[in-house]
Amino acid sequence: MGLFRHKREPQLPTVNNGATGTAATTTNGGHHGARRHHDGRDHVTEPYTMSKRPSFGQWLKYTWLDILTMAIMGAIGLGVYEADPAPTRSFPVTFLDGEIVYPEFGYPLRKEIIPIWAAALLAALVPIVVFLFMQIRIRSFWDVNNAVIGLLYSLITAAVFQVFLKWLIGGLRPHFLAVCKPDISLASNAPGVVGAGYNAAGFTNIYYTREICTGDQNEINDSLESFPSGHTTAAFAGFVYLYLYLNAKLKVFSNYHPQMWKLVAVYAPILGATLIGGALTIDEFHNWYDIVAGAIIGTVMAFSAYRMTYAAIWDWRYNHIPLHRGVPFSYGGADMELSDALWTRKAGWGSSSSRHGGLGRDKYGGYDDYGVNNGAGHLNRKPVGAGPAPAPATRGADMV
């Protein structure tokens, strides 16, 4: 049995294809991929089953557009990252008595504690290593595929988002004046000068543009693009995604009382992301608001990417199940593929007989629904105190 070959290969139910009299297999809870011909016949378009590992050609067939999109987005992001800052930003230097106007921009240039390449590498490699480690029990190619693809969605979209903000908005880094090395005597408002009209301008004429800077041009460009923090954006995009994955696979916030180590494991990535962002206040590469903005961007992208690749975010019944590319997920369907694709084995979760993610057999041979259905058949599990189960047509609306 291969590492990514899922241990359970359910028999898929069949549906009649109308006039042809042929049968089509269904997947993901009784839904089948089909399109109707002009003569009323159904043509099955279901490309793969998630219980089996595909060939490379099959995988590429359904993933090539994502790969192309990622490459294009990466090229756009790199191009914007290398571009000079777009706005002509004004800044004060000193008052007439020589006192620095904004000391918060006069910190010395220090060596980064965590370089941007290291932050991005950690945000990508640490989650991937965890995804692979979890396959010791999960053993599903499509779980790894969805996890890694979703992680790349999060990292790449967050990176492109933040480089556009840096380019078009930016801001002064805490060490801007040390890098700029301003010489006020160079101020000029002559025609053709980039900052013409904005040098020795403003109230009491204390505002200037980068035309008075004498430092290294690359360092000046970088010091004008402080907002938002790229380090923090990458860290939260990768580690918040890992947080959501671990919560789903360990069932920390679900329908039973887990051990404390699971809570620690789930929040360890959040601690890592916060440390990476917080370190930027020590080496004075970012202002606090740059870090907060980066954390928000990374978190939003992580939540969005996880929900694109898994059936839910907070609904503990389904948030561990990878989504199929071509077939709609049937919430509460009769036989959901990869419903047991998790790490934990507590409270019936991960058993081959589980339904809705954790409905195991009891000692009488029936399904254990915590006193609701012991030895008496199968009932859908719902939270304590919930009303009647929603109709199948409305189940999807309840998902987060």
At 340 the pLDDT is 81
User: Residue holding tokens 């920390």?
Assistant: 252
Question: Left (φ > 0), alpha (ψ -120 to 50) or beta: where does 332 sit?
Answer: left
pLDDT in the model for residue 133: 96
Residues 320/341, Cβ–Cβ less than 8 Å? yes
In angstroms, rounded to a whole number, what is the distance separating the alpha carbons of residues 344 and 258?
Answer: 10
The domain locations on the chain are 86-309
pLDDT for 399 equals 46
pLDDT value at residue 367: 38
pTM flag (> 0.85): no
Which residues make Cβ contacts (< 8 Å) with residue 125, sequence separation at least 6?
A: none
Residues in the chain: 400
C-alpha to C-alpha distance for 109 and 223, rounded to whole angstroms:
10
Residue 214 corresponds to which tokens in the numbers above? 């004498």
Rg of the chain over all Cα atoms, to the nearest angstrom: 27
What's the pLDDT score for residue 187? 87
* Region label for 205, one of left (φ > 0), alpha (ψ between -120 and 50) or beta (otherwise): left
User: Could you give the CA distance from residue 70 to residue 206 in angstroms, rounded to a whole number?
Assistant: 45
Alpha carbon dihedral 153, 167, 269, 53, in 10-degree steps, equals 20
pLDDT at res. 347: 81
The CA–CA distances, whole Å, from 393 to 297, 389, 390, 396 equal 34, 11, 8, 7
For the record, the structure tokens of 91 come out as 């800044």
In this prediction, residue 78 carries a pLDDT of 93
Cα separation of 242 and 236, whole Å?
A: 9
Question: CB–CB of 234/155 below 8 Å?
Answer: yes
- Residue type at 390? P
- Closest by CA position to 111, among listed 370, 285, 329: 285
Alpha carbons 368 and 388: distance in angstroms, whole number: 19
pLDDT recorded at residue 7 = 53
Q: Which residues of the chain have pLDDT under 50?
A: 1, 9-35, 37, 43-45, 353-387, 392-400
pLDDT at 44: 46
Q: Which tokens go with 383?
A: 């939270």
| CA diameter of the chain | 93
Q: What is the mean pLDDT of the chain?
A: 81
**Three-state secondary structure along the chain?**
CCCCCCCCCCCCCEEECHHHCCEEECECCCECCEEECCCCCEEECCCCCCCCCCCHHHHHHHHHHHHHHHHHHHHHHHHHHHCCCCCCCCEECECCCCCECCHHHCCCCCCCCCCHHHHHHHHHHHHHHHHHHHHHHHCCHHHHHHHHHHHHHHHHHHHHHHHHHHHHCCECCCCHHHHHCECHHHCCCCCCCCCCCCCCECHHHCEECHHHECCCHHHHHHHCECCCCHHHHHHHHHHHHHHHHHHHHHCCCCCCCCCHHHHHHHHHHHHHHHHHHHHHHHCCCCCHHHHHHHHHHHHHHHHHHHHHHECCCCCCCCCCCECCCCCCCCCCCCCCCCCCCCCCCHHHCCCCCCCCCCCCECCCCCECCCCCCCCCCCCCCCCCCCCCCCCHHHHHHHCC
Kindly report the number of other CB atoms within 10 A of residue 87's CB atom. 11
What contacts 340, CB < 8 A, 6 or more positions away? 8, 349, 350, 351, 352, 354, 357
